[in-house]
C-alpha cells in the first residue's frame, strides 16, 4: 500500500509499505537439504524530481524485517531477518525530432537480505548490486487517431553480489497504445541480457493494461500486469514505478493487480495505491559466511 504526493508537475514524493510471504526449498547436491518460510515487512520511501526540462532524477530506498523459519536436518530454527535496499537514477533527454526522442539513462541499485544463525555463527542471506548505462529511443505514431508509442533501449551493466559478477550488455523494447478519451492504456514489453562476463542468462516479458476514467491519475485507476522471467539467474532487484523495491529470486511468472485513487488538495495531488503481487520461481542463491 502506498501514498503519493504530487507537488505541481515536477515533484513526486511518497512511501509504500509491503507485506510479503515466501517459501523456498534448497539443496547443495551433497545431502544438505532444507526449506525456509518467511514473512517480509518493508517500508519504501521514494522521490521523483524534474530537475530540468530535460533532466529527471529519482531515488528510492527500503528497510524491512522478516520472521523466518529454517527447516534443515530435522531441526527448526526460528530466525529474525532484516533487509536494506537503495536505488536511484537519472534520465537525460538528449534530442527531439519528428516525434522521436533520444534519452540517456543511468541507474544503480543495491540490496541485502539475511538472517543470522547464532548457534552456527553464520548468516543465511544474499546481496546484489547493479549499475547500468542505457540509451533509449522513443517513436510516437498515430494509429486510427490514437497514440502508439514504440520504445527501445540498449546499454551496458556492471553486476556485483553473491550471485554473478562482471560486466554485460542488455536490450529491451516496449510498445504502448493509448486511448486518452477512454482512459485506456495497453502495453507489452520484453528485455534480455545479450551477454555477460559470468555467462548467465536473464530475460523477461510482460503485458500491462490500465484504466483511468479521470485524468492525470486523478480519480480511480485500475491496472493489471503479468510477466514471465527466467528460471535461472542470481538474486536480483526490481522496482516498479518507484513505489516497489524488493529482492526477488529468478521468477517464472508474476501477476500484479493494482488500484489507485487520487484526489486534489489545493495545488497538490494525493494518490493512495493498493497492489497485490504474486510470483512463482526457483530458489535464490544462498551464501553461508
Per-residue pLDDT tens digits for 112-131? 877 776 665 566 667 788 89
Mean pLDDT of the chain: 78
The predicted structure's pLDDT at residue 218: 58
The predicted structure's pLDDT at residue 121: 58
CA distance 1 to 44: 10
The predicted structure's pLDDT at residue 240: 34
The predicted structure's pLDDT at residue 95: 92
- 288 pLDDT above the threshold of 70: no
**What average pLDDT does range 150-176 have in this prediction?**
89
Side-chain half-sphere exposure of 260, counting CA atoms within 13 A: 28
The predicted structure's pLDDT at residue 40: 83
Beta carbons within 10 angstroms of residue 17's beta carbon? 12
The predicted structure's pLDDT at residue 59: 94
More confident residue, 119 or 96: 96
Beta carbons within 10 angstroms of residue 215's beta carbon? 10
More confident residue, 270 or 266: 270
The predicted structure's pLDDT at residue 264: 77
The predicted structure's pLDDT at residue 249: 45
The predicted structure's pLDDT at residue 261: 82
pLDDT category at 91 given cuts 50, 70, 90 is very high
**What average pLDDT does range 196-200 have in this prediction?**
79
pLDDT category at 289 given cuts 50, 70, 90 is very low
Domain at 2-288: CATH code: 2.40.160
What are 218's three cell numbers?
486523478
More confident residue, 162 or 247: 162
pTM, 2 dp: 0.76
pLDDT digits (tens, 9 = 90+) for 21-67: 877 777 766 666 778 788 888 899 999 999 888 999 999 999 998 88
CA distance 237 to 127: 10
- 248 pLDDT above the threshold of 80: no
Amino acid at each position: 500500500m502506498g501514498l503519493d504526493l504530487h507537488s505541481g508537475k515536477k515533484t513526486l514524493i511518497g512511501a509504500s509499505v509491503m507485506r510479503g510471504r515466501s517459501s523456498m526449498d534448497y539443496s547443495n547436491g551433497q545431502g544438505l537439504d532444507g526449506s525456509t518460510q518467511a514473512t517480509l515487512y518493508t517500508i519504501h520511501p521514494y522521490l521523483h524530481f524534474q530537475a530540468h526540462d530535460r533532466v529527471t532524477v529519482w531515488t528510492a530506498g527500503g528497510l524491512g524485517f522478516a520472521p523466518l523459519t529454517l527447516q534443515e536436518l530435522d531441526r527448526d530454527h526460528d530466525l529474525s531477518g532484516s533487509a536494506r535496499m537503495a536505488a536511484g537514477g537519472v534520465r537525460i533527454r538528449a534530442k527531439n525530432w519528428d516525434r522521436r526522442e533520444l534519452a540517456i539513462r543511468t541507474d544503480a541499485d543495491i540490496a541485502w537480505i539475511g538472517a543470522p544463525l547464532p548457534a552456527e555463527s553464520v548468516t543465511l542471506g544474499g546481496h546484489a548490486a547493479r549499475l547500468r548505462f542505457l540509451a533509449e529511443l522513443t517513436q510516437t505514431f498515430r494509429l486510427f487517431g490514437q497514440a502508439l508509442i514504440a520504445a527501445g533501449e540498449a546499454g551496458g551493466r556492471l553486476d556485483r553480489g553473491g550471485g554473478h559478477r562482471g560486466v554485460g550488455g542488455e536490450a529491451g523494447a516496449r510498445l504502448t497504445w493509448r486511448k486518452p478519451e477512454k482512459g485506456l492504456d495497453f502495453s507489452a514489453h520484453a528485455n534480455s541480457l545479450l551477454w555477460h562476463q559470468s555467462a548467465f542468462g536473464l530475460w523477461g516479458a510482460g503485458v500491462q493494461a490500465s484504466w483511468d476514467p479521470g485524468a492525470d491519475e486523478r480519480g480511480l485507476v485500475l491496472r493489471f500486469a503479468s510477466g514471465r522471467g527466467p528460471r535461472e539467474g542470481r538474486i536480483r532487484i526490481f522496482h516498479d514505478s518507484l513505489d516497489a523495491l524488493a529482492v526477488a529470486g529468478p521468477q517464472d511468472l508474476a501477476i500484479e493487480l493494482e488500484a489507485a485513487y487520487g484526489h486534489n488538495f489545493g495545488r497538490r495531488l494525493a494518490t493512495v495505491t493498493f497492489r497485490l503481487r504474486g510470483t512463482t520461481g526457483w530458489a535464490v542463491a544462498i551464501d553461508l559466511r
